[in-house]
Amino acid sequence: MKNRKNMVFEQINNNDEIAVYIHWPFCRKKCFYCDLNSHVREKITLEHYFEGLLKEISLWKKHKITSIFFGGGTPSLMKPEWIQAIISELKKWSTFIPEITLEVNPSSLESYSLERFRDAGINRISFGVQSFDDQILQFLGRTHTAQEAIQWIRKAQQLFSNMSIDLMYGIPNQSLQTLKETLDVVLNLNLPHISLYALTLEKNTKFGQLYERAQLKMPQDDLIADQYELILQKLKHYLHYEISNFAKNESYRSKHNLTYWRYKPFIGIGPGAHSRIWIDNEWYAIHNLKLPEQWLQKVQNNTAVHDLSNLQNNIGIIEKIDQKIFKMEQFLMNLRTHEGISLVNNTFLQTDKLQKLHDVGDAIYDANISFRLTNKGFLRYNAIFRYLFDQN
């Protein structure tokens, strides 16, 4: 007879295709703005964390996988043979995985060689660059220079056809001209995918503390709006398929991130990683323990990632998502995309509000069929969400 744990795993809907996120929680140095689950550790055995990742994978039931994403932290600090071993393990779930991305920091201090990553099975590189202005890079606490980033990208272009770059706007002291110069460099590099995120101030960061002591001035909203306009204008030949993401054409859209934005199931492996999955036709969120040491200890001693009969035994917190929160989260994610949200069988939104947003040019509302934001609406995404869900 099967034990309860095995039953729980097998009750996950077998037809679901799943995206797998692998979190490597370590960095050489903490960037001044960064609130991600990333840690600088001097004296630890990194190999144990690699073994922990393999162990956590082994606790899951096998699924068909659409994508793997190695994020962090700085996953380019993982040995290529570890990456290869993880990919091999996941290929036991699905022999063909169309997209396998590795986030790379473009500096020899923060990455093994790109050839070795390619040979390990990576087929898409996502470079964390943020800016091509050395003063801004220094201000952000990045360890690479603009020139170094360009050299890494050029090298990657000889090895990978699919790659992306992360950049930032809304940075203190970043003028329109500085941003324009960065965008010119990117256009010149002719990359197939670009992500552009506005810097947000987070409390537990060096920037957050400086701001509280009035030692850091954030740019005005008007400047941020002008920067967003500039981005849209400069990248007008790209497909603007998500608020912050641009692709040369549909085939270069991030398959992995589309899973999140379409609110489909995904599994997160590693400290602080999240999962969203169906169990017994119920939608669950799993939030893994954040602190690497605590996560590792739990993984080493565990026999299940999610055991509904013994919640203390889980690697993180497991939470059932009710219908209302499911709809809100789904809406929140779908709204980020150019596809928008389908309104077929979706009656929870107030149609007068949708119509109003259409009338002021923030959205395109096709009654009972679909609702999506315009570029103007994208800029007011947070306010629109609060308006629709009465959170003002």
Q: Is 337 in the site for ligand SF4 (CB under 6 A)?
A: no
Q: Which of 11, 36, 134, 201 binds ligand SF4 (CB under 6 A)?
A: 36
**How far, CA to CA in Å, does 308 sit from each of 61, 311, 323?**
15, 6, 19
Minimum distance from residue 197 beta carbon to ligand SF4 (Å): 11
Tokens representing residue 78 in the block: 């993982």
Q: How far, in Å, CA of 95 to CA of 97, rounded? A: 6
**Is the Cβ–Cβ distance between 168 and 128 less than 8 Å?**
no
By CB under 6 A, name the one of 5, 18, 20, 38 that touches ligand SF4.
Answer: 38
Structure token digits, residue 213: 């002591």
Helix (H, G, I), strand (E, B) or coil at 288: strand
Q: Which of 27, 165, 189, 247 binds ligand SF4 (CB under 6 A)?
A: 27
Q: Smallest gap, in angstroms, from Cβ of residue 204 to ligand SF4?
A: 12
Query: In this structure, what token pair is assigned to residue 326?
Result: 């499911």
**Of residues 173, 179, 193, 202, the one with CA closest to residue 238:** 193
Give CA–CA dist 216/229, Å, rounded: 24
Q: Choose one: 26-34, 78-86, 258-266, 320-328; the region binding ligand SF4 (CB under 6 A).
A: 26-34
The reply on whether position 373 binds ligand SF4 by CB under 6 A is no
Answer for which of 52, 72, 75, 80 binds ligand SF4 (CB under 6 A) is 72
Residue selected from 21, 63, 66, 73 as contacting ligand SF4 according to rule CB under 6 A: 73
Decide: is 111 part of the binding site for ligand SF4 (CB under 6 A): no
Report the DSSP beta bridge partners of residue 101.
69, 124
Show the site string, 256-285: x = touches ligand SF4 by CB under 6 A, - = not.
------------------------------
**What distance in Å separates the CA atoms of residue 224 and residue 222, rounded to the nearest whole number?**
5
- Chain positions 113 to 132 lying near ligand SF4, rule: CB under 6 A, are 128
| One residue of 12, 18, 20, 34 binding ligand SF4 per CB under 6 A | 34
The distance of Cα 149 from the centroid of its chain, to the nearest Å, equals: 21
Min dist CB 272 to ligand SF4, Å, is 11
- Distance (Å, whole) CA 294 – CA 315: 9
Rg (Cα) of the chain, in Å, rounded?
21
199 binds ligand SF4 per the rule CB under 6 A: no
With contacts defined by CB under 6 A, name the span among 25-33, 205-213, 291-299, 303-311 that binds ligand SF4. 25-33
Q: Does 290 bind ligand SF4 (CB under 6 A)?
A: no
Which residue, chain included where needed, has tokens 């149609």?
351
Minimal distance, residue 127 CB to ligand SF4, in Å: 11
CA atoms within a 13 Å half-sphere pointing along the CA-CB vector of 373: 24
Interface residue list for ligand SF4 (CB under 6 A): 27, 30-31, 34, 36, 38, 72-74, 105, 128
